[in-house]
Every structure is written in C-alpha cells, then in structure tokens.
Amino acid sequence: MNTSPHSFHIPVMGLGFTIDSPIRVAHLGINSVVSVVDDLLLEKIRRHYSELHQIPYKSIGRTAENGRTRRVKEFLSMMNQIVSEKFDAVKSQSFFTESEKDRYFDLLPSGSDMKKKYKELYFMADGALREKLGDALTAMMKPGEIQVNIMSKVDLLRTGDDGIPLSPEHSDANTALKGFAESDVDGSLVLSAGFNPRLYGYLAEFGDFYRLSGKQPKKRIILKVSDYRSALIQGKFLAKKGIEIAEFRIESGINCGGHAFASEGVMLPTVLEEFAEKKHELVATFDPLIQSYYEEQGWSFPEMTFEERTPAVTVQGGIGNNGEMQRLLDYYGVDSTGWGSPFLLVPEATCVDHETMTLLGDAGENDFYLSNVSPLGVPFNNVRGNGSEKNKLELIEKGKPGSKCPKGFLSTNTEFTENPICTASAQYQILKIDQLKSNMTDEEKLEQQINEILDKDCLCNNLGFSALIRLGIVPETHGKQAICPGPNLAWFDRTYSMEEMVDHIYGRTTELEQPERPHMFAKEMSMYVEYLEKMMAQTGDDPKERRKLTKMKANLEQGMDRCYELSQKEPYPGENLESLGRIVYEQRKRLDELFQQEAGAEA
C-alpha cells in the first residue's frame, strides 16, 4: 500500500526535468522520480550540486573503468546525502515559525491524520502534552522517496575496444541498475517501457531487493504498466526470482508526456476496472513463487498481513484537477496518483529553463502533438517551437542535417552498419537519404520519406539541455532544448508556486480551474481515435495489420461504453463529466465514419 503522506507523486519527465527533483521536494515529503539513462548528464549535475553543497567531488571520466555504474552510483549517493541533510534540518525546526517544517504540514492533504494532529497542536497550551504531541508529529515525518527510472528499451549492449560486444552485465540498463543497487539510496526502482528479461534477471544479483533477515527490502520495485496482463506477466517473472513488486504504476498509453507507448486502444477506464476487480489475485499468484524462491535460497520469508503483501496500484497520465483525482482514488480504488506535466511549470519542483517554461505556459491545445521525432520509432509527445526543433531546422537549412550522436543511447539501427547507429545521427540520415534518392523515382513520395527521416531528433543530448541551462552549467544562448510535455499542459498557462499546485491537486483552490477543459478520459479517447486514423492511413493491404486496427476499434468501443456509463454518474467537484458524455458521442461517430470510409474504399 501507499506509505507516502501524500496522494500524489511527481513522475519522471525526460532526462533532465526531474533530475534534481528529490533535492527540491523530498524534504517536503513528496516522492519524485529521477531518470538515470544519461550518466554523462548525471555527472555534470553531480559536480554542480557537490560544489553547491561543499561535498568532495572527484570526476569520473567518460572512459573510466565501470564509469557508467560509478557515475550513477555517485550521483544517487550525493543526492541521498543532500536530501537527508535537508530533511534533518527541517525536522529540527520549531513548529509555527513559518518554517519549512510548517510548509511540510501545510502541504499535506486536508484529511490526513498528520495534518489534523498538526492543527490540534496549534491550539494546545504549552506544557508536557503539547511537547509530547510535537515530538510524535516530528517522528511521523518522512522524506519524499528518491525513485529512479530505467527505461527497459534503452539497453544498448556496448562493444569493447576490440569491437567485440561486452558481456550482458555491461549493457546500458544493467550498468544503470548496478549503480542504483550499489548506491546508499533507500528508495524505489521504476522499470518502464516494456519487459526486458536481461535486465529483470539481473535484479537477482543484488540483496537490497530482498527481505533479508526479515527486514523490508532496502530497495523496492515499481513496474510501470499499461494493463493488467502486462502486470501479471512481468510480476510472475520477477516473483520466480523472489522479487516483490511494491507498486504497479499504470500510465495512459497515449495521454502522457514523453514517449507514448500506445496500447491496442485499451483505455484507462477499462484497465482500472480490471485492476480493481483482480488486484488481490496478484498476491495469490506471486506469493507462492516468491516464498518458493526464498526456500530454495535457504532464507526465511517473514509473515505479513494480506494488506502488507498487496502491491500498491497508482495511476498517471493526463490528470488535471482534484475531481479527476478523487474519481481515481475513490471510484477505482487506486492508492495514489502521478502528476507530471503540470509540475514543469513549477520552478521549485522541476529543472526547466526560463525560455522553455515560457514556451509551455504560452502554448495552446494545437501546439501539443504526437510527433515522429524519437529515434526509437515510438510516438513522442512534443510541443511546437522548442529549442531542439529550431536547431534541427537550422541544420537542415544549412545542408548539415542530423546529430553528431555524442552519446548514442538510442543507437539501434543496423541497416547500413555492423554496429548500431542512431536514426537521428548525421551518419544514418546521409546514408538513408542517398539510398532513397538512388531507388525512388516518385518525387512526392521521395520528399515525404526524406522529411520523415529528417524529423528525428537527438533526444539523448537535447532532453538534458534545459536542466543544464537552468542550473547555469551552459549558457542560455546554447539552445537545443527538447521538451516532452503531455497535452494536459495546454490548460496550465503560467508558472506556479509549490503551494498553488499542491492546493490545486487537493482541491483547496479554484483559481487554476478551467471549466472548458475536457475530462482526462475524454482527451485520452480523442487521442486514440486520432492515432487510429493515422495508423489506418499508413497501413496497406496487409491482413494482419488490418486485424490489429479492427481489434483497436473494438477496444476503443469498449472504453467508450465505460466512459458513457461514467458520464451518467454524479461528478466529483470540478470533474467535467458532461464533456465525457459529449465526446463519447463525437468520437464514436468519428470512429464509425473512419471504418465506413475504409469499407467503401475497399469496395
């Protein structure tokens, strides 16, 4: 179950936007997630914060032995030290002095026991009872958890100096995992972007993921999943290795920030209903496998209550107001929620440069779109006019398209080379465009395909520049900042203080409300129908691909049925259920028309 004092967390955003969020918000009891994909970026940030906090720093060079693991480990250990020192300082402060300790309690949900006791303390007369309650409240305080994200798909197996691939433990994901495991962080590892048996199997090498000597695991596993089946398959694989899942983090496949790993049209309401119905079956499935592993190892497995053994279930992706959050918490029974993109406009919480933050605040609905820029070939949520886009267009204009590929984390293409290269690299783009020009005679199709190639962006490098600019590590004139907001950000139009955003999340203010904003499920539905329309335009006569589209339509219709049923219920305050019913009608009609047109074209 969720043990955080809050009912929300700040998910990972890009490579750099939450790279220092624990340092910014953990002393206030708020969980946040750090990406460790780019260890070279981590090293630059570590140097910055080590100097700022007078922590001894020794550089780990790019070619240092086990450099990636060491960079991740040292960065996280430094972060843990800063968070611990800040939190201890907050705990030592007096109550009711307008201190960070008071902020800690002021930000808590209004109905929390801690907040009720805090208010009770305020009205108590000085004396032993007041001092006792104050000490008890201080003891109840806990810092926000440092959570670390590894994208399972970003797992390049590097080669040695001799050009021969290194052994599996040296892959990018495994070396990042080892850095987290060897750090002194008592936190969670968020595994996202699909099932990676090599990475999952490597978890068993580290004792911190187990209940050794009857103690809680020092490091816990959070699986980001798109549906119940995925949770069951991945959870069983890990359970066979004795690894428990602390939390299943459900994310909308399409209404999110960053990469959109779109499902086959299965919408959040469908997924959430299945988890609500079957959540406790997960324990019955995993527990025997976990206990069997412990027995094989000769370890004792501690007795726990059913509640203690049940993984938390959280959800994120497009949540925009307290009414929607209450729907998720109360109606669907999730334990907590993730609020990502809105925090890009909270300077105290995330690491975003001024130019990009201004762009996000000014952007409207039509400025946010699913782009083709990712070298992974996965749709990528984007905003028009960002620094990376401007830089890319300038290079194309100069006749020098593509990136020099300084980091290579997304190098997966072997079409022209023995070793993988990135489709956003100048090397790939020049080779591919030359190939197309040699083989294609249709000028219109040639231009279209060249534009698709040139659309790829250097996300490895450019998703980190905003943080470097914000921290003053590189100058503002550097540009090239990529950004990955969810479309929900269209309804937030300026920068916000931490108090403003948290009060909005908990429904303590109406200042941020925009009544015309569609329900989060309505937006997800519209995005899926639009995505399906694009897929139909790209799909030829392949029967297998046609069956996929038909299945997607059926799944969407199932989600629409659930959304319509929901639209007839009593809304939570601020929950725009009226928009949900209206958009179900509009999108079902649009869906039917798409398939009628398709049938007509085939006839």
CB-based contacts of 82-89 (< 8 A; 24+ apart in sequence): 82/23, 82/49, 82/53, 82/55, 83/22, 83/23, 83/26, 83/27, 83/143, 83/144, 83/146, 84/143, 85/53, 86/23, 86/26, 86/27, 87/26, 87/27, 87/141, 87/143, 89/27
User: In this structure, what are the phi and psi dihedrals at residue 486, rounded to the nearest 5 degrees?
Assistant: -80, 155
Average pLDDT estimate for 373-399: 92
Residue of 482, 474, 505 whose CA lies nearest to 574: 505
The tens digit of pLDDT for each residue in 137-153 reads 999 999 999 999 999 98
Element (H, E) at 147: strand 146-151
Element (H, E) at 521: helix 520-538
Instruction: Give CA separation, 162 vs 129, 159, 166, 376, 413, in Å.
Output: 71, 8, 10, 27, 20
pLDDT for 598 equals 67
Band of the pLDDT at 1, cuts 50, 70, 90?
very low
Residue 238 has pLDDT above 70, yes or no: yes
What the block records as the tokens of 438 is 């040699």
Q: Of all residues in the chain, what percent carry a pLDDT higher than 70?
A: 99
pLDDT for 225 equals 94
Entry pTM: 0.94
How many CA atoms within 13 Å lie on the side-chain side of 560? 23
In three-state form (DSSP H/G/I as H, E/B as E, the rest C), the secondary structure along 151-174 is ECCCCCCCECCCCCECCHHHCHHH
Strand partners, 403: 425
Q: Measured on CA atoms in the order 213, 216, 220, 225, is the torsion positive or negative?
A: positive
Q: Which of 120-124, 516-520, 537-541 has the lowest mean pLDDT?
A: 537-541
pLDDT for 602 equals 60
What the block records as the tokens of 55 is 């922590």
pLDDT for 408 equals 85
pLDDT for 129 equals 94
The tens digit of pLDDT for each residue in 107-133 reads 999 999 999 999 999 999 999 999 999
Q: Which of 12-16, 95-99, 170-174, 544-548 has the lowest mean pLDDT?
A: 544-548
The tens digit of pLDDT for each residue in 554-597 reads 999 999 999 999 999 999 999 999 999 999 999 999 999 998 87
Q: Give 331: exposed, middle or buried? Use CB within 10 Å, 0-12, 13-18, 19+.
A: middle
Q: What angle do CA 39, 41, 45 make, to 5 degrees?
A: 115
Residue 188 has pLDDT above 60, yes or no: yes
CA distance 589 to 582: 11
User: In this structure, what are the phi and psi dihedrals at residue 112, rounded to the nearest 5 degrees?
Assistant: -70, 150
Q: What angle do CA 360, 363, 369 make, to 5 degrees?
A: 95
Residue of 197, 180, 205 whose CA lies nearest to 236: 197
Domain boundaries, the chain: 8-343, 518-603
| Contact criterion met (CB below 8 Å) for 500 and 511 | yes
Scored b (16 or more CB within 10 A) or e, 498-535 reads bebbbbbbbbeeeebbeeebbbbbbbbbbbbbebbeee
Element (H, E) at 495: none
| Contact criterion met (CB below 8 Å) for 193 and 261 | yes
| Contact criterion met (CB below 8 Å) for 348 and 10 | no
Instruction: Give CA separation, 311 vs 222, 232, 235, in Å.
Output: 9, 12, 10
What the block records as the tokens of 440 is 């294609």
Q: Which residue has the higher pLDDT, 159 or 432?
A: 432
Write the CB contacts of 235 (distance below 8 Å, at least 6 apart in sequence).
223, 245, 248, 282, 285, 286, 311
Average pLDDT estimate for 42-47: 98
User: In this structure, what are the phi and psi dihedrals at residue 200, rounded to the nearest 5 degrees?
Assistant: -65, -40
| Contact criterion met (CB below 8 Å) for 452 and 424 | no
pLDDT for 599 equals 62
Instruction: Give CA separation, 548 vs 536, 544, 553, 568, in Å.
Output: 10, 7, 9, 31
| Contact criterion met (CB below 8 Å) for 214 and 300 | yes
User: In this structure, what are the phi and psi dihedrals at residue 10, rounded to the nearest 5 degrees?
Assistant: -100, 110
Q: Give 146: exposed, middle or buried? Use CB within 10 Å, 0-12, 13-18, 19+.
A: buried
- The mean pLDDT value of the chain amounts to 93
Q: Which residue has the higher pLDDT, 423 or 514?
A: 423
What the block records as the tokens of 558 is 């199932």
pLDDT for 13 equals 95
The most distant pair of C-alpha atoms in the chain lies apart, rounded to whole Å, by 89
Average pLDDT estimate for 41-50: 98
Average pLDDT estimate for 84-90: 98
The tens digit of pLDDT for each residue in 412-457 reads 899 999 888 999 999 999 999 999 999 988 888 999 999 999 999 9
Residue carrying the six token digits 């079957």: 278
CA distance 179 to 196: 18
